[in-house]
Structure 1
Amino acid sequence: MFKKTIFTLTAMALSATAFAASAADQVAVFAGGCFWSMQKAFDHVPGVVKTRAGFMGGHVKNPTYEEVVTETTGHVESVEVTYDPAKVSYDQLLQTFWHHTDPTNPNGVICDYGSSYRTAIFTYNDDQYVRAVASNQAVGQQLHKPIATLIVKSTATGLPFYPASDYHQHFWKTHAAHYDAYYLGCGRGPALHKLWGDLADS
């Protein structure tokens, strides 16, 4: 009985610790064109706990992929990033975002054209907003070009994130051949290297 009690208390303590760790995680959302590519970029960042591809910014509730690509919902393809701020900072996530997209085109990213492929940063608190704005300005100075990326206070506007279907989650891994064909056909790699140089690999 004594051993069982110790085991139970230990299990409860471990559960409490795990909950505390998950409670410390934070969320950020980025839209950088095709969410297949943006999710792949964030999937490889140490400190990122999980990612979800989805849609944000529009007026249609629970949109499907087929609805969003009609360009009538107001949504943009986005990636929700859950991260441990003790392991990766929001500023580092911003750098990952910039270097894996083209923020200079207001009509899409590289081969993906349309309002659903616009670049955007959806912030969840004042600190994220201030950092996103500062980063946006710094990128404009670095590239010597106007930056078309929208920065939206999602909590102030009440904008929810809607996850895409399972088919689109981690597409670069679950449908590798299809994704690779898209990536090569789009010319995303060469275009990002032309814009960012070696930073496109960071």
Structure 2
Amino acid sequence: MEKALFAGGCFWCMVQPFEEMKGIEHVLSGYTGGHVENPTYEQVKAQETGHTEAVLITYDETQVSFKELLDIYWNLTDPTDAMGQFMDRGDSYRPVIFYYNEDQKRLALESKEKLSKSGRYDQPIVTTIEKAGPFYAAEEEHQEFYKKNPRAYAAEKEQRQQWVESQS
């Protein structure tokens, strides 16, 4: 099994698209990139830890490639917004592709360059590509949020869509 680590705003909205893909073993919501060990949701949300909300994806490389995961990632985020995603604002919601090895780094850089040249966005692509560090699982109530809290998830997803539409 391989690992991928992506940050793209609220982790609640990042889980379902990956979890439902063939070859995905598990998607875990959590925190990474900061300076506080074992942070809590409240600490991260308050921008006190340097961490960003992220999803750790465990996948079978024989069934789904890192490149395919990157394609999904780019469609879940606004890669032109360095200070949050959609209505989630602040450093803890910044878009980041974390890499575990040089091949993931290369693929992430290539996909970012391809997206930059595509003409899809009229602003620069600011998603960062950073070496993966310690990952801390979020509290249980944040795992598989879309299954545990379908109404709250639907409202969050609808707000995110409305925000996207308001920016067009």
TM-score over 0.5 for the pair: yes
Partner of 1:5: none
Contact 2:86 2:163 in 1 (8 A): no
1:124 is the counterpart of 2:124:
no
User: Relative contact order (alpha carbons < 8 A, sep ≥ 6): 1 or 2 greater?
Assistant: 2
Alignment partners' CA distance in 1, 2:127 and 2:64: 22
Q: What secondary structure is seen at the aligned counterpart in 2 of 1:178? A: helix
Alignment partners' CA distance in 2, 1:136 and 1:189: 26
Q: What secondary structure is seen at the aligned counterpart in 2 of 1:187? A: helix
Partner of 1:49: 25
Partner of 1:191: 164
Partner of 2:58: 82
Partner of 1:174: 148
Instruction: Give unpaired runs (5+ residues) of structure 2.
Output: none
Partner of 2:129: 151
Alignment partners' CA distance in 1, 2:115 and 2:161: 19
Deviations 1:40-97 (A, max 9, x none): 1111111111010000100000000000011121100000000000000000000010
- Following superposition, the deviation at residue 176 of structure 1 comes to 0.5
- Following superposition, the deviation at residue 140 of structure 1 comes to 1.4
- Following superposition, the deviation at residue 190 of structure 1 comes to 6.8
Q: State the structure with more CA Rg.
A: 1
Contact 1:35 1:77 in 2 (8 A): yes
1:17-166 superposed matches below 5 A: 25-142=1-118, 143-144=120-121, 145-154=123-132, 159-166=133-140
Q: Higher helix share goes to which structure? A: 1
Letter of the aligned partner of 1:188 in structure 2?
Answer: Q
- Following superposition, the deviation at residue 187 of structure 1 comes to 3.2
Q: Number of residues paired by the alignment?
A: 165
Higher mean C-alpha displacement, 61-70 vs 134-143:
134-143
Alignment partners' CA distance in 1, 2:49 and 2:93: 12
Percent of paired sites with the same residue: 41
- TM-score, normalised to structure 1's length? 0.78
